[in-house]
Amino acid sequence: MPRKLAAGNWKMNGMAASLAEIDALVKAHPSPACEVLICPPATLIAQMAWKVGKNPIALGGQDCHSEASGAHTGDISAPMLADAGASYVIVGHSERRADHRETDVDVAAKARAAHAAGLTAVICVGETEAQRDAGETLAIIGAQLAGSLPESATPANSVVAYEPVWAIGTGRTPTLEQIGEVHGFLRAELAKRFEGTAADMRLLYGGSVKPSNAAEIFAVADVDGALVGGASLKADDFGPIVAALGAASA
Ligand SMILES: O=C[C@H](O)COP(=O)(O)O
């Protein structure tokens, strides 16, 4: 089994001064028992790579273009992220899907580009509150998964993050039973494609993960880590989440 993954998505937060949080995280958790990933704004990746040095923290982008280079003003490519020091990239976050109207086809193309650049793609899926209320959660997630995982995806180069849209940044989380239902469904869907190796693809839960709820979420079957937004910005919050996942890995 691959190591569990505590991933922090800083979203559009963080300036050079925020790099101090990495020092604090390394100081408090020099040898985490799980893999740790920080996805800062792209402007900070190179500086952060220098700061992280040989410490066990991976870096990732929050999005990439589907092309490796070209006339795409304002975009960033997967090879550029790799060049800056990233080894991961998030694709298909619900904020990208909503703000930039990204479709499953777009997300699959971005994940394909990430794989071609040697990056691990963190591919996000998740239902809206209206879809959950309508009883459509598994159908929506199944369709997003099928449409967003390109043919290049393997358990080694891809991670799937389940993020209910209504739980992001709201302080609300699904029940543990609801998280378990979706993660079990995702694993079963992956098993249809990856057969004996589906257990090797890490499934992250994301949406209002905090130090106070991390341990109970990490105890749910088929939860292999978390994609954390707000609570990843401060080492004092993210550190205990890393520690909780490390304890769940033991
Ligand atoms: O990518 C992270 C998620 O959108 C979760 O964000 P949050 O932890 O602030 O709810």
For residue 219, give both structure tokens.
């105890």
- Residue in 93, 102, 127, 189 annotated catalytic: 93
pLDDT (average), residues 160-174: 98
Q: Is 118 annotated as a binding residue?
A: no
Q: Is 229 annotated as a binding residue?
A: yes
Question: In the chain, which ranges are continuous DSSP H helix?
Answer: 20-28, 42-52, 78-84, 94-99, 104-116, 129-133, 137-148, 176-194, 214-218, 235-249
Give the range of the structural domain holding residue 72, as residue numbers without chain letter: 5-249
pLDDT at 184 over 90: yes
pLDDT in tens, 66-91: 999 999 999 999 999 999 999 999 99
Output the pLDDT for position 2: 86
pLDDT at 107 over 80: yes
Q: Is 13 annotated as a binding residue?
A: no
pLDDT in tens, 114-140: 999 999 999 999 999 999 999 999 999
Phi, psi dihedrals of residue 28, rounded to the nearest 5°: -80, -25
CATH number, position 206 = 3.20.20.70
pLDDT in tens, 1-13: 789 999 999 999 9
Contact status, residue 4 vs residue 202, Cβ threshold 8 Å: yes
The yes-or-no answer on residue 183 being catalytic is no
Q: How many domains does the chain have?
A: 1
Q: Is 27 annotated as a binding residue?
A: no
Residue with tokens 């066990």: 56
The CA 70 to ligand 1 mean position distance, Å, reads 31
Question: Does any ligand 1 atom lie closer than 6 A to the CB of residue 168?
Answer: yes
pLDDT at 53 over 80: yes
Contact status, residue 11 vs residue 231, Cβ threshold 8 Å: no
Q: Which residue has a Cα nearest atom 3 of ligand 1? A: 229
Question: Does any ligand 1 atom lie closer than 6 A to the CB of residue 208?
Answer: yes
Question: Does any ligand 1 atom lie closer than 6 A to the CB of residue 7?
Answer: no
- Residue in 35, 95, 102, 163 annotated catalytic: 163
Question: Does any ligand 1 atom lie closer than 6 A to the CB of residue 145?
Answer: no
Output the pLDDT for position 1: 77
**What is the average pLDDT score of the chain?**
97
At 109, is the pLDDT very low, low, confident or very high (cuts 50, 70, 90)? very high
Question: Does any ligand 1 atom lie closer than 6 A to the CB of residue 228?
Answer: yes
Please enumerate in sequence order all residues whose Cβ is within 8 A of that of 104, keeping only pairs 6 or more positions apart, or say none: 92, 143, 144, 146, 147, 148
The CA 177 to ligand 1 mean position distance, Å, reads 20
